Amino acid sequence: MITLTINEKEVTLDKPVSVLDAARQAGIKIPTLCWHEALKPYGGCRLCVVEVERMPRLQTACTLMAADGMVVKTESETISKVRRGILEFLLINHPLDCPYCDKAGECELQDLVNKYGPTVGRYKEEKRKVPESHKDQIFARNMERCVVCTRCVRMCNDQQGASAISIMGRGNHSRMEPFSSASFNCEYCGNCLTVCPVGAILSRLYIHSFRPWQVDKEVETICSYCGVGCSVVVQVRDESIKRVIPKIGLGLNKGLLCSRGRFGYEYINSQDRLTTPLVRKNGNLEQSTWSEALSIVADRLSDIKKSEGGKAIAGIASPRCSNEDNYVFQKFMRMTCGSNNIDSISRTGYAAAQKYFEQLLGQGITTNTIEGLKNSELILVVGGDPTAVNPVLGLSIREASRQGAEVVVLGNAKGLDRFMTQQVVPQVFGEAEVLEELLVAVSGAKGLRGEKMDVDSGIRMLSDKYSGKMDLDGFEKLKQSLLESSSTSIVFGTDLVQRSNGHRAIFAVAGLTYLLEARLYMLSDRPNEQGLIDVGCVPDMLPGGRPINIIDFKRKFETEWGGPIPDEAGKTLFEIIEGAKNKDIKALYVMGDNPVFNLPNGPHVIEALQSLEFLVVQDLFLSETARLADVVLPALGWTEKTGTYTNLERRIQLQKKAVNTSSGMEDWKIISEVSGKMGYKMSYSDSEDVMEEIARVSPLYRDLTYREISKGNSLWPYHGEPLRGEIHKLPVMVDSKGEYRADLYISLEKPLFHSGTLSRRSPALIKICPQPTLKINGTAAAKLGLNEGDMVRISTAAGSSEMPVSIDDTIKDNKVLMGNNFEGKGVFNLITYKLDPVTMAPGIEGCEVTIVKL
């Protein structure tokens, strides 16, 4: 215990903190400028000087540790004089352009001068002139206003880890550069904006469009982009979103955001939004009314159900929609349409892996929090770049690396380039084999645990085939590291699921997790991949992870919902697509997704959907899929409705309504209207009402209320009990080393600045990354005579596309990468797939590609 006196007030501390923090705890405010609660103390501005008894000179409160018996004074004539002097210094080169500066009203310098500053300045010489820079599309930079507090630099280096900002020059010639341009590693997280105390860095998304005091509504909600679920504050004026900002300390992101979260909100105001229902008449989609459109949907579905049975109807739910939307959707499919054919795009990765992990380990989701990741001794990253897929989770890995953890990447992970301590690059598409060898090696050294018989027997099976040795650079070192680490996390990206034998990698990762008692984190590109599984948008499970084939569970739901649920598990996503093509499926209801674009082999998906008798799509935009629909229903999106989302660490969070809008309806509401017309009444008054039902029927969400969720600490309970029972017969693991002899293979890139349908309608993200590029490493580019920016034709067996190349030396194998984000330019148009027999996820590996310079 430390007790000190600040301004004659006794302050007791439980742990050592700075005098500044001690004063804050006691409610005493000491002025600061370079200090920021998210950053380490710097001691540059000298405004926080205090008098300390028995210390000869003034001390900076931010850097001085509080000590027992210390007597501190934070205000005195001497101190005021110093603060006045320092502020006078800060203003000598300041342009004093507050009337024009967007920061006015929330400028720390303005506030400080107002309170402590001089009334007149004595500086007579010319001020430093630095022209304002609008070179960047996102940031406006004004170095005349900069006070060189270096908060942006420290944020960019120490928290974000992008290291894109530096002080150039020294002394009074110091200025911050460059904030932008990909060549300087700017990740456009905008976290520098959060910390800039003055108007030196401003966002051009809202420059000169409002004053901070004109915000009439501030809503704390969560981001709509990925499976992390960062907290944000939406600032609204006149029912339009002015700005999305983080709040220090709020949510699991603790005030950090990524480019998508901070700048990707404009899609919601896009001109392309659907405003009225559309109905296909004479082959064309025409504007219609809600009552007409809903009746058509209800009638057609009822007809098909009557003539073909519920099995002929299928539904695709959405990992972008809320738990409430998805819950109502699966209930509608099961109860109203009489079908268990419910799945989602998540089958291409997360849901597929989640199920197999759950079968093997008893749980298919991390048992830890994202924040806990940074306490690991060793982090093994496989199957994707966490800093691009789940950027804020990626920051935890960078933080761990800074704290001295080992970070080992198997394959490529561009965003960890400077943070990894080891990289092991397998032969192209050979990750599973490396993981299996590692598993055998680890089990050889540690033995089996005897807790999960099926996993043990699987490992034994592998041990017969493999030696636990490998002629691969870094393999032995990685093995040793894994054996020595006492606290290991495995971050698993879904790239390895998208293999025709993806279950091998999943088994190996499960085995390693089990033997090493590691923590497993599964990356998730969409905000509600876990939630949609939790509420039953999978063909074989009811809400709460209750298997449909366990009769007791089914009965319970039948009683609750008042009707029969079909017995058999339904079709998975790709079985639905095949079913449509074979005409086993006659009607498909797509809620909030775009399978034509988001599934590999787009032309094949189009063909399948065109074979349907009836396709209904509800979405924000007239997507590639919606264009094929018979009825299109406009839905509401982020900030327009309230609902809960469950992130990749099982945290259930509330996404709140912030603006009122005239068109569109909540997804759950549209469905309950259709359901009512089809004869199964759902009478929810609002989304909270839906949540009440979920909390009643789902053991995972038991007794949860919006009020409870709003506190931010609702992680669904983990009991380690298998929900579906363990598998009893391991599928034969394919023992093929793979023959990948081509020069180049094309693979999916998941870029930081885009996520697809939403991001491509966000002008800011388009400005940051305006067009698709083909990423190729320097060696391969040189062989083909390609330079940065050269246009190429990319051809595969499935199709071809044209775009510029971008050279990326973090690709260490013979893959070229292309994203699936831009309309007509998605890599999925060029890739065919083969389903993994175990996970039913699409294998997209081994796609040979020819690249020709145009």
Residues found near another protein in the complex (CB under 8 A):
41-47, 49, 57-58, 63, 65, 81-82, 85-86, 88-90, 92-93, 122-125, 147-148, 157, 162-174, 177-178, 183-185, 417-418
Listed as own residue / partner, the contacts of 248-254 with beta carbons closer than 8 Å and 24 or more positions apart are 248/37, 248/38, 248/194, 249/37, 250/220, 250/712, 251/222, 251/653, 251/712, 252/228, 252/369, 252/370, 252/371, 252/392, 252/647, 252/649, 252/651, 252/712, 253/228, 253/392, 254/38
User: Residue 122 or residue 728: which is nearer to another protein going by CB?
Assistant: 122
Closer to another protein at the Cβ: 89 or 706? 89
In angstroms, what is the minimal distance from the CB of 368 to another protein? 28
In Å, what is the CA distance from 221 to each residue of 245, 708, 753? 10, 15, 21
DSSP code for 105: T
Q: Compute the least distance from the CB of residue 523 to another protein, in Å.
A: 25
Instruction: Return the CA Rg of the chain.
Output: 29
The C-alpha atoms of residue 793 and residue 804 are separated, in whole angstroms, by 9
By C-beta, is 41 or 722 nearer to another protein? 41
Residues 293 and 278: their CA atoms lie apart, in Å, by 7
Cis previous bond, 178, omega within 30: yes
Residue 341's closest CA among 316, 305, 324? 316
For another protein, which is the closer residue by CB, 185 or 302? 185
Angstrom CA distances, 570 to 343, 531, 546, 566, 722, stand at: 9, 19, 14, 9, 21
Phi-psi region of 598 (alpha: psi -120 to 50; beta: other; left: phi over 0): alpha
Coil, helix or strand for 166?
A: strand
Complex with another protein: residue 78 or 705, whichever CB lies closer = 78
Element (H, E) at 475: helix 475-484
Distance between CA atoms of residues 140 and 137, nearest Å: 8
Q: How far is the CB of 456 from another protein (least distance, A)?
A: 42
Please report how close the Cβ of residue 41 comes to another protein at its closest, in angstroms.
7
* Torsion angle (degrees, nearest 10) of CA 409, 412, 415, 417: 70
Min CB(98)–another protein separation in Å: 19
Nearer to another protein, 57 or 728 (CB): 57
What's the min distance (Å) between Cβ of 86 and another protein?
A: 5
Provide, rounded to whole angstroms, the least separation between the CB of residue 321 and another protein: 39
> Min. distance of Cβ 39 from another protein in angstroms?
13
Q: Of 174 and 307, which CB lies nearer to another protein in the complex structure? A: 174
For another protein, give the closer residue by CB, 156 or 522: 156
Q: How far apart, in whole angstroms, are the C-alpha atoms of residue 316 and residue 312? A: 14
Nearest distance in Å: CB 126, another protein: 9
Nearest residue (CB) to another protein, 43 versus 738: 43
CA neighbor of 84 nearest in space, from 126, 128, 122, 129: 122
Burial of 427 (C-beta count, 10 Å sphere; 0-12/13-18/19+): middle
Beta strand 313-317 with 175-178 is unpaired
Length of the chain, in residues: 854
Q: Are 521 and 489 a contacting pair, CB within 8 Å?
A: yes
| Distance between CA atoms of residues 818 and 793, nearest Å | 12
> Please, what is the minimum distance in Å from the beta carbon of residue 414 to another protein?
13
**Beta carbon of residue 557, minimum distance to another protein (angstroms, whole number):** 55
How near is the Cβ of 81 to another protein at its closest, in Å? Answer: 8
Minimum CB separation of residue 106 from another protein in Å reads 21
Whether 815 and 747 have beta carbons less than 8 Å apart is answered as: yes
Q: Which is nearer to another protein, 184 or 718 (CB)?
A: 184
In the complex with another protein, the residue whose CB is nearer, 164 or 293, is 164
Shorter beta-carbon distance to another protein: residue 36 or 503: 36
Q: Which is nearer to another protein, 157 or 270 (CB)?
A: 157
CA-wise closest residue to 217 among 181, 178, 243: 243
Kindly state the smallest distance separating residue 426's Cβ from another protein, in Å: 22
Query: What single letter denotes the amino acid at residue 70?
Result: M
Q: How far apart are CA 222 and CA 448, in angstroms?
A: 42
Nearer to another protein, 109 or 228 (CB): 109
